[in-house]
Structure formats: C-alpha cells, structure tokens
Amino acid sequence: MTTTRFAPSPTGRLHVGNIRTALHNWMLARKAGGRFILRIDDTDAERSREEFVDAIREDLEWLGLAWDAEERQSERLERYDAAFAALRAAGRIYPAYETAQELELKRKIQLGRGLPPIYDRAALELTDDERAAKEAEGIAPHWRFRLDHGEAITWEDGIRGTQKFDPAQLSDPVIRRADGSWLYMLPSAVDDIDMGVSQVLRGEDHVSNTAVQIQMFTALHAAQFAAQHDGTGPVPAFAHEALLIGKEGKLSKRLGSLGCDTFRERGIEPEALVALLARLGTSLPVEPIADRGALLETFELSTFGRAPAKFEDAELERINTAIVHHMPFEAVRPRLPHGMDEAGWLAIRPNVHTVAEAQEWWGLVTGPIAQPDFTPEDRAYLGEAAQVLQWSENPWAGLTDALKERTGRKGRALFLPLRQALTGMDHGPDMGELLPLIGEDEARARLARAAQG
C-alpha cells in the first residue's frame, strides 16, 4: 500500500512551503488509495509547543487534508534508543567530542584550502584511553552515524531522476546530541520503517539528507532492527520537489510567514490555496478548480519541474475570486450577514473577492447609504423616478423603460443617477437583482430623498 507522511515540527505555525508539502503527500496517498500519516516530530522538547500541535491539526483540517493516523515522536523514544543500540553494536555509530567552535574552525580551514567542509572523522582515530580522558574531563560526546565509503549512493528520484552521491564527499551526520536529545536523521528513518512509509516526497533541500538516510535504512535492515524485515527490507521511494520562491525571484523570508492563519484572515478559501499549490511548479495550468477529485486525476510526479516554483499573491487572489464566484449559497450560508438569503448571495456574488466582502455589499440592501450630491437636473429626474416606480417581477427594467420613454435619457445618464441614489455607489451588483432585495418602500424612499438633495 502507498503510504506517505507529513512530519512537521511543532515549533511554529505551518507556512506555505509546509502546506504545499503536506498537500502533495496527501494527494500522492489519496490518488493511490493509500494512507496519509501525520507525524509530529516533537523530539526537541525545548522548542516544541502543544499549541503548535493543535494549530497544525487545525490548519490541515481547514485545508481538508484528513490524515489516516497520527504519531508523536516524543512517544517513540524507546524505538530510537533501540535503533541506536543496534547501529552501535554494528559499528555504524561512534562518539565525537569536538565543540561547535572546534568544528567551525575546521570548516574554515578546509574552505580556506579550497576543500569541501566535510567532517574529517578525527573522532575515529581516538584511542579508548583518549576517549576516557575526555569524558573524565566532563566532555560528553555527541554521536555520529558512520557512512560506508564504499559504493556510491544512488536512487531514482521521482522528480529529479537518477541521483548519485559519493559518500566520501558527505559528512558523517550527527544523530544525537551530547545531552542525549535526537536530531532529525535517525528518528525519521526509524519511523519510516516502523510506519511502512513507501514514498517520501519533500523539498529539494533534503536531497543530501536522503543520500545519508538511504544508508541508514540499509544499516537498520542489516542489523535486523525491524522485526518485520529480514535484513533486506525496502527503502522508500524518494522524490524532491523544487522549493517555492517569492515574486522577487529568490527565496523569500516572507513565504515563511504566510500560513493558514494569515490566509484565513485575508479571506482566502482553502479550495483556492489547494488549487494553486496542487499545480504550482508543475507543467499543468494553475486553474480555479475546487473539485479535489479533478485535481487528483491529473496529479503526477512526472509533471513536476526542476525550476523553482514562484508563489505570487496576485495569482492566489485571482484563483480565490474565481472560486468564490462559483460557490453555492449552502456552502457560504453560515458566513453570510444576517438576513442574506440565496437571492442576495447570487446578486452580490459576482462583485466580491472574498465571502467576507458580502457584509459590505449587503449594506447596500439594508442601508443606510450615503448618497452623493446631485445636480438640479438629476434631482428632478430622481423625483420623477420615485413617482413612476411600479413594482413587478422585474421592477428595474420597468423603471428604466418608463424613464427612458418619459425623459429621453439613455445610457449612463439614464442608469447612473438611479444606481447612485439607490446604492450610493457608481458600480456594483446587477440592479435588476439588487432592487427586489431593497424592496419597494425603501427604494421609493431613497429616490425621494435623493430628489430632495
């Protein structure tokens, strides 16, 4: 079964890049009839907050990305300890004692010599006595995963194609801090094994991490860490999508502040955000498609490009407006102002960019409205309009036809003063739909008031 996962750290709100990753993993699972797992990567006890866990759930629910299972890394620490012990027994983990300052100095020296800043494995050269001496000094070790410098690490990436890394050109990654806390690499690999994750779709900034984790998967299986495998267990299929960039054409810090809370405040519909992010960075056109099924039908990793995907507010707002213009009354009913019925929504809908704007437009119906100053000629015209107004199935057409015949006015001179007197605005909803909502008595009163000046 296809199983994907979204694994956010609860150290802040989800931003647009996280949302895109979650969406694509959800789509990958749903299209294959598989499972989508929400995994809360909360091993960083100091920075993780329960309020952010709640916010992550709330955001995914708002987006309509239902998950089939939820896991918490903080509840799986025994599994990571077991993996650590298995890898250490297999000689794939070793202690290192350099401080952050010492490591930084080494990197600077290597860069100064034109060499890649790769860890030099000095800790592997320490004797037992030297290690004991450091620990006697109170220096607790951090722990590194020892990469196998044999064959190249290769995989067929679902987006980037064939990938090949020389492990000798990668640093042995730190997997556990001196205080015993975990970094990302090993717990993630353990979880993917235990949870049967078959496909990992994430940003291209994780490509080198994938090379390292492929060796971790192999080492864990070889150590027969996973009971369900015999030492030759499968490695997930990997795909790495291009990162989002802002309008300015480079990675934007602003994208890190764009989250579901921000989009909700702006009146963006979840369907609009999904429609944009589902196809952003692919060869498919970005369209205002509210039907998830239609988006799933066309979702293919083969359509993803290698170029950075540009996220633009203007495009999101365009899609949002188009989707709002097709939203049925029942879908928006709880969010509409008191008293607005289906006829009111249908009349106002073509003029709003967000559902929240219905409140402002509904004020044209409920009043009061501020009318402009009219010329003496227009006041006389509006006074005549108040007299000839007759209620019918289409009072607007009846009113304008009668005034055209009686006054000879046409075009802007015929329609604009009436709209201004009845709504206080120069533009807006179709008056043929709006006037019945205003009602006969109120419409006549507004015309009369405009005639008096």
Residues within the annotated binding site for ATP? 253
The single-letter DSSP state of residue 266 is: T
Alpha-carbon distance of 211 to 193, in angstroms, equals 16
Residue with tokens 């951090």: 142
Q: How far apart are the first and last CA of the chain?
A: 74
- Residue 348 φ/ψ, nearest 5 degrees: -90, -25
Give the DSSP per-residue string, 299-352: --GGGB-SSPEEP-HHHHHHHHHHHHTT--HHHHGGGSPTT--HHHHHHHGGG-
Annotated binding residues, written as ranges, equal 253
Give the separation between CA 398 and CA 92, rounded to whole angstroms: 87
Q: Measuring CA to CA, which residue among 369, 405, 358, 354 is closest to residue 384?
A: 405
Residue tagged 């928006």 (tokens): 332
> Alpha-carbon distance 323 to 327, whole Å?
6
Cα-based angle 362, 364, 368 (whole degrees, multiple of 5)? 115
Residues 24 and 14: their CA atoms lie apart, in Å, by 15
Nearest to 314 by CA among 353, 284, 256, 279: 353
> Residue 81 carries which side chain, given as an amino acid letter?
D
